[in-house]
Amino acid sequence: MSETTSVTFGDWMAGVQGTMEADMSAYLPAATAIPAKLHEAMRYALLGGGKRVRPLLVYAAGAVSGGAAQTLSRAASAVEMIHAYSLVHDDMPCMDDDDLRRGKATVHVAYDEATALLVGDALQSQAFAVLAGAEGVPPARLVAMLRVLAEAAGSSGMCGGQAIDLDSVGLSLTREQLERMHQLKTGALLRASVLLGAMAGKDLDAAELQALHDYSRAIGLAFQVVDDVLDATADSATLGKTAGKDAADNKPTYVSILGLEASVALAERLRRDAHAALDAFGDGAQRLRELADLIVQRKA
């Protein structure tokens, strides 16, 4: 999975995505295990879809540090479980109230609200259980990785960003406020994905860690800018979720603050920043570069 030489980016991505599907399925209790409805709904929320951007980042950063496959699999599954739980909760009626996700009915629609609440709660616990089961890194490193995940997920990371997002509906944010919100809401977990992949292997020096930090910051922002552009320009069928929802919900976005053209230009500049941050790494960071391109150039 960490070979960057003869395998095309598309084949490498498909390989990670296939590995993820199989590994995450194995890291969840069987759909028949009691309570069966909860376990079936957890599988519905986690498996069978998604671009797996965060796992791809874990594996791509793991290629830089030489992380062991089993450690990368568990770290990648853990961040994806955190991401999946956040989608389940964000879609609930008391939050974004969305019926469609990845082209499927959202969990509270396919099941019910109480189940959706528990699915999210249990996926978060499972993320920590899965990461804590990694065996390819020294325990002290694993503890540090668990802290990175917990902090990225919590009130100073993803949950904090979501709280700011909810409080921003109808407000006119400055670009700085919008950026801070997204650095928490989306950026924190993307950054954690890169960090966890990097921590899974050999020790990186301070300059290398700073380079990965700069890379993460650039792609984290780019990811959100492109999301806003797509929400304003693509249709629901392409997105697999309800398009035009930000404007309908009166949410501040890069498009509403900067305009469409400047947002597209910003995303491209961030893509180049991400590449520049990786200059010191040479070929080992090829997958990270390709992921920066993917994040900015995606159509959904």
Task: Name the phi and psi angles at 101, rounded to 5.
Answer: -150, 125
According to the binding rule CB under 8 A, does residue 9 interact with a second copy?
no
According to the binding rule CB under 8 A, does residue 1 interact with a second copy?
no
Residue count at the site for a second copy (CB under 8 A)? 52
- For residues 170 and 195, give the distance between their C-alpha atoms in angstroms, rounded to a whole number: 34
| Residues 67-96, mask of contacts with a second copy (x by CB under 8 A) | ------------------xx--x--x-xx-
> Please, are residues 191 and 152 in contact by the beta-carbon 8 Å criterion?
yes
CB 98 → a second copy: shortest distance, Å? 13
According to the binding rule CB under 8 A, does residue 42 interact with a second copy?
yes
- For residues 92 and 194, give the distance between their C-alpha atoms in angstroms, rounded to a whole number: 28
According to the binding rule CB under 8 A, does residue 171 interact with a second copy?
no
- Amino acid at residue number 122: A
- For residues 234 and 19, give the distance between their C-alpha atoms in angstroms, rounded to a whole number: 29
CB 22 → a second copy: shortest distance, Å? 20
Neighbour-count burial for 159-181, b at 16+ CB within 10 Å, e otherwise: bbbbebbeebeeeebeeeebbbb
Q: Which listed residue (71, 124, 186, 224) binds a second copy by CB under 8 A?
A: 124
Question: CB under 8 Å to 253, separation ≥6 — which residues?
Answer: 178, 228, 231, 232, 246, 247
Residue with tokens 């469409």: 260
Binding segment (CB under 8 A) for a second copy, from list 1-9, 58-66, 119-127, 204-212:
119-127
18 vs 154 by CB, closer to a second copy: 154
Q: Which listed residue (160, 240, 244, 284) binds a second copy by CB under 8 A?
A: 160
Strand-pair category, 100-101 with 104-105: antiparallel
165 vs 290 by CB, closer to a second copy: 165
62 vs 120 by CB, closer to a second copy: 120
According to the binding rule CB under 8 A, does residue 234 interact with a second copy?
no
Rounded alpha-carbon distances, angstroms, from residue 89 to 42, 114, 141, 297: 12, 11, 30, 28
CB 77 → a second copy: shortest distance, Å? 13
Q: Which listed residue (14, 26, 143, 237) binds a second copy by CB under 8 A?
A: 143
> Please, are residues 165 and 185 in contact by the beta-carbon 8 Å criterion?
yes
The residues that touch a second copy, with contacts defined as CB under 8 A, are 29, 33-35, 37-39, 42, 85-86, 89, 92, 94-95, 112-115, 117-118, 120-122, 124-126, 128-129, 132-133, 138-140, 142-143, 146-147, 149-151, 153-157, 159-160, 162-164, 166-167
